[in-house]
Amino acid sequence: MTTDTTGTVARDGESRPGGPADSPFIRACRRRPVPHTPVWFMRQAGRSLPEYREIRASVPMLESCRRPELVTEITLQPVRRHGVDAAILFSDIVVPVAAAGIDLDIVPGTGPVVAEPIRTAADVERIRPITRDDVSYVDEAVRQLVVELGDTPLIGFAGAPFTLASYLVEGGPSRTHAKTKALMYGDPELWHALCGRLAEVTLAFLRVQIEAGVSAVQLFDSWAGALSEADYRRFVLPHSTAVLSGLATAGVPRIHFGVGTGELLGAMGEAGADVVGVDWRTPLDVATGRIGADKAVQGNLDPCVLLAPWPVVEAEVRRILEQGRAAPGHVFNLGHGVLPETDPEVLTRVVALVHELSSRRADQG
């Protein structure tokens, strides 16, 4: 018997029916029947929200990630406003790397900038293993959030080794990832040492979040689509597998996401994901054919569509829900993060529309 997870608000215990583990989001990740297709948005915490901008006006990005009360408030903002089916922890993929001893900053309008890029074996040694004490602010924020969120699941996340390596080797964002690839092709031994070290940091960071109570984790390999499948399998897959398979018995669904990864979807599933994130370039039914029927999919509205007139948005949401029916589980999302210029009211309308179009009465199965 399934419990109606939409109406009950019980916050007093962990293992009750209707808690986060029984939410539509977690059920979809596990390919179980759902009362409606769950929806959340990558980069929903921040970006387009005026209430976020107000908080951030006087606090630099990395500092806001290290203050548990701010992390908690920013993480809750999109849940309150949009009624999304999951919260994502407010943090950044470079937070654990900074905790591991690398001097970096997140520069407004640019992204992460690394003071001394990693280019040699001695540089790799500067990336220390991390423990819970190094990221105690994340531990604390997650524990607070789990209480505040009640039945709504919290998604923890980390950057995958390739995407982190790209920032560390380039020193900042890069369109071509040229220095990263030069190191990868030119010195495979050093490359594997770097990614092995980053996989350890990432795994430790995700374990801290899981122990503190997140209900699912997402591994962001945002820039993996820059690689051919052969190179992905040789240079990246072993390291992302080390992270995801290291969490196989942790009891939470694992989502694996990248952009421009149409050719890599099968391999990204093989890395040990329960859910594979798909960008807008690959229709979800085609993606399911590549990923296989033993995994759920997440996606895949083009974030730019949200800037178009509502009838266009509505038609695209309908198409994606229809194509998502080919998958054994579908979590509605964007194909990449919310753009800062997005009207938050459109996001709220999309959540309501996804819920309305996908609602199933329990007797319909």
Catalogue the active-site residues: 43, 47, 56, 92, 167
Q: Does the footprint of ligand CP3 cover residue 79 (CB under 6 A)? A: no
Q: Does the footprint of ligand CP3 cover residue 320 (CB under 6 A)? A: no
Q: Does the footprint of ligand CP3 cover residue 173 (CB under 6 A)? A: yes
Phi, psi of 115 (to 5 degrees): -60, -50
Restricted to residues 101-130, the positions that interact with ligand CP3 (CB under 6 A) are: 106, 108-109, 111-112
Residue listed under structure tokens 């109406």: 7
Where would I find the beta strands (DSSP E) of the chain?
Answer: 87-88, 104-107, 111-114, 154-159, 216-220, 254-257, 275-277, 296-301, 330-334
Coarse DSSP helix, strand, coil percentages of the chain, rounded to the nearest 5 percent: 50, 10, 40
From the list 88-96, 295-303, 320-328, 357-365, the region that binds ligand CP3 by CB under 6 A is 88-96
Residue 63 vs 322, nearer CB to ligand CP3: 63
Residue by residue, DSSP assigns 206-256 as HHHHHHHT-SEEEEE-TTGGGS-HHHIIIIIHHHHHHHHHTTTTSSS-EEE
Residue listed under structure tokens 């001394």: 116
Smallest separation, CB 224 to ligand CP3 (Å): 10
Residue 31 vs 218, nearer CB to ligand CP3: 218
Residue 92 vs 170, nearer CB to ligand CP3: 92
Smallest separation, CB 26 to ligand CP3 (Å): 18
Smallest separation, CB 247 to ligand CP3 (Å): 17
From the list 36-44, 174-182, 244-252, 281-289, the region that binds ligand CP3 by CB under 6 A is 36-44
CA atoms of 117 and 104, how far apart (whole Å)? 9
CA atoms of 200 and 130, how far apart (whole Å)? 8
Q: Total residues contacting ligand CP3 (rule CB under 6 A)?
A: 24
Three-class SS of residue 156? strand
**Minimal CA–CA distance to 334: which of 47, 46, 77, 40?**
40
Report the residue from 90, 162, 205, 280 that binds ligand CP3 according to the rule CB under 6 A: 90
Can you give the binding site for ligand CP3, defined by CB under 6 A?
A: 42-47, 56, 61, 88, 90-93, 106, 108-109, 111-112, 157, 163, 173, 220, 222, 337
